[in-house]
């Protein structure tokens, strides 16, 4: 079991190394889209946290 | 003589074209018809019961919407020979890759639970206990995938797709007035005016037409099938045919419930089937069989979407053309997803309604990201070459993606905060 977890961690490290850099050309439009996506996801996560807090209260 | 030889030549050409299509047919048809999953059937049944035929025009608009999004996955898969998960990792790096993969895993698993909810509810109508449905489905899905051939899996899946057409005779059996369907359904209208309820239904119909797993599934399926660049036109045709069929089926479901159950509040497709059984035994039976088939098709595709994505990223063998010995992790992840989702349905008092709502919210976090990545990847000239998006592709695709992002987000918000649009 421990061995499997170690192997999995090693595999994840390999994947992170393999895909450490994006291979798509980072033009202005791509950067802007990714920034907008980050803002959008932060907004959604914020909403979910708000919902969770109101549910708990 | 010249006329007959020309006719013969054209006929031969047509037969060849149909034969070629039958070889390539599959990914588009299967993904689109599987899109009418248990949740989809519930949405269409509830739409018909609430608004009669009045929203049929809106369903027709969803044909080009579904087509334009899904045809991009055909091009991306056929040209890059990579699934959507791998394409995101490679294109945008590990951060966005892991985000998409983990999100996909959660959405797929939750959606899979809803498919089992639909299947058990459908067969429960015939007195089959949930444990037997779950066991039977897992066994059946095991047999389907473990034959070691993509081709066989695809043809079996297509047979289940054909069963999805069961709603069509069902609609004829309730004897709807064609003139009413044409008058109320084909002229764009907003029944009762634009209000929160109507908005929720419109968004639910969009949400059920484009789901995140569909992008991942079709692209991986195109790769596993081995489609080449030259096959792209047929792949597009396959997708268009699938998009048309899925909306046709949706319309027939709306016709059934719009004719028999208009004005009745429907919470689930199984409830609609039970009510229909009282008015017309065969139509209710068809509705229940269709619901089971929809859940099964959804389960077949969704569990594969996750397994393909994991295989692509972790470098495991991940093809249906490989048997269980050649691709053990692929099949292990397939069955793990399947069995754990199935077991949730059997837990007494499991929060199934909460899961059904939660899946819609989580899907909203993945769908915009997957769609934005899709558009950006299709504009990557270096990898896509001549199959890169044209300006018109970007205008149409961009508009559709923007509309889906806005509406699915509003849908997610309305699920979290039901009074927000009231």
Determine whether the interchain pair A24/B416 forms a contact, defined as Cβ–Cβ distance below 8 Å.
Answer: no
Neighboring chain A residues of B316 at a CB cutoff of 8 Å: none
pTM over 0.90: no
**pLDDT value at B1 more than 70:** no
Using one digit for the tens of pLDDT, what is the confidence trace for B247-289?
Answer: 999 999 999 999 988 888 887 888 888 888 888 889 899 999 9
Q: In this predicted structure, what is the pLDDT of residue B6?
A: 85
Both tokens of residue B189? 């209208």
Neighboring chain B residues of A45 at a CB cutoff of 8 Å: 365
**Spatial CA neighbour of B235 closest among B62, B46, B76:** B76
State whether the Cα torsion B267-B270-B274-B275 is positive or negative.
positive
**pLDDT value at B325 more than 80:** yes
Tokens 């950067």 locate to A31
How many CB pairs below 8 A link A and B? 57
Determine whether the interchain pair A24/B376 forms a contact, defined as Cβ–Cβ distance below 8 Å.
Answer: yes
The widest CA-to-CA distance across chain A, in whole angstroms, is 47
Using one digit for the tens of pLDDT, what is the confidence trace for B21-65?
Answer: 777 777 888 888 888 888 888 889 888 998 989 999 999 999 998
Determine whether the interchain pair A22/B377 forms a contact, defined as Cβ–Cβ distance below 8 Å.
Answer: no
Both tokens of residue A36? 């907008």
Using one digit for the tens of pLDDT, what is the confidence trace for B81-137?
Answer: 998 999 999 999 999 999 888 888 888 898 899 899 999 999 999 999 999 999 999
Q: In this predicted structure, what is the pLDDT of residue B89?
A: 92
Cα B401 from Cα B367, distance rounded (Å):
10
Determine whether the interchain pair A24/B380 forms a contact, defined as Cβ–Cβ distance below 8 Å.
Answer: yes
B interface with A, Cβ–Cβ below 8 Å: 89-94, 96-97, 313-315, 361, 364-365, 368-369, 372, 375-377, 379-383, 405, 409, 412-413, 416-417
Q: Is A41 an interface residue toward B (CB < 8 Å)? A: yes
Higher pLDDT, residue B407 or B353: B407
């Amino acid at each position: 079991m421990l061995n499997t977890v170690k192997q999995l961690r090693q595999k994840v490290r390999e994947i992170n190394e393999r895909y450490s850099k994006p291979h798509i050309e980072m033009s202005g439009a791509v950067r802007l889209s990714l920034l907008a996506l980050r803002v959008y996801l932060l907004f959604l996560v914020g909403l979910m946290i708000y919902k969770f807090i109101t549910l708990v209260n | 003589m010249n006329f007959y030889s020309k006719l013969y030549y054209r006929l031969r050409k047509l037969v060849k074209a149909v034969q070629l299509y039958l070889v390539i047919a599959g990914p588009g048809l299967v993904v689109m018809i599987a899109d009418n999953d248990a949740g989809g059937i519930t949405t269409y049944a509830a739409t018909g019961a609430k608004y009669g035929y009045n929203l049929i025009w809106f369903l027709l608009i969803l044909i080009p919407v579904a087509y334009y999004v899904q045809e991009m996955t055909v091009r991306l898969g056929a040209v890059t020979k990579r699934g959507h998960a791998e394409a995101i990792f490679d294109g945008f790096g590990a951060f966005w890759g892991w985000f998409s993969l983990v999100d996909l895993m959660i959405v797929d698993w939750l959606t899979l639970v809803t498919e089992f909810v639909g299947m058990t509810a459908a067969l429960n109508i015939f007195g089959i206990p949930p444990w037997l449905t779950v066991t039977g489905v897992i066994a059946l899905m095991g047999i389907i995938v473990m034959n070691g051939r993509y081709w066989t899996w695809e043809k079996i899946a297509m047979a289940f797709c054909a069963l999805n057409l069961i709603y069509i005779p069902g609609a004829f059996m309730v004897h709807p007035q064609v003139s009413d369907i044409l008058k109320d359904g084909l002229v764009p209208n907003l029944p009762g005016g634009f209000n929160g309820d109507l908005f929720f239904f419109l968004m639910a119909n969009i949400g059920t037409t484009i789901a995140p797993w569909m992008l991942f599934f079709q692209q991986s399926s195109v790769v596993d099938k081995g489609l080449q660049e030259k096959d792209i036109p047929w792949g597009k045709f396959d997708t268009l045919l699938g998009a048309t069929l899925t909306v046709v089926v949706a319309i027939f479901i709306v016709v059934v419930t719009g004719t028999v159950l208009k004005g009745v509040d429907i919470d689930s497709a199984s409830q609609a089937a039970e009510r229909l059984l009282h008015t017309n035994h065969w139509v209710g039976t068809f509705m229940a069989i269709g619901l089971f088939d929809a859940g099964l098709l959804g389960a077949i595709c969704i569990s594969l979407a996750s397994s393909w994505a994991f295989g692509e990223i972790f470098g495991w063998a991940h093809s249906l053309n490989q048997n269980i010995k050649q691709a053990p992790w692929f099949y292990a992840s397939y069955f793990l997803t399947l069995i754990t989702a199935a077991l949730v349905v059997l837990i007494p008092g499991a929060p199934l309604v909460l899961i059904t709502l939660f899946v819609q919210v989580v899907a909203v976090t993945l769908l915009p990201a997957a769609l934005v990545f899709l558009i950006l990847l299709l504009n990557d000239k270096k990898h896509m070459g001549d199959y890169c998006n044209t300006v018109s592709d970007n205008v149409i695709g961009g508009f559709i993606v923007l509309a889906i992002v806005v509406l699915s987000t509003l849908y997610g918000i309305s699920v979290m905060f039901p009074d927000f649009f009231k």
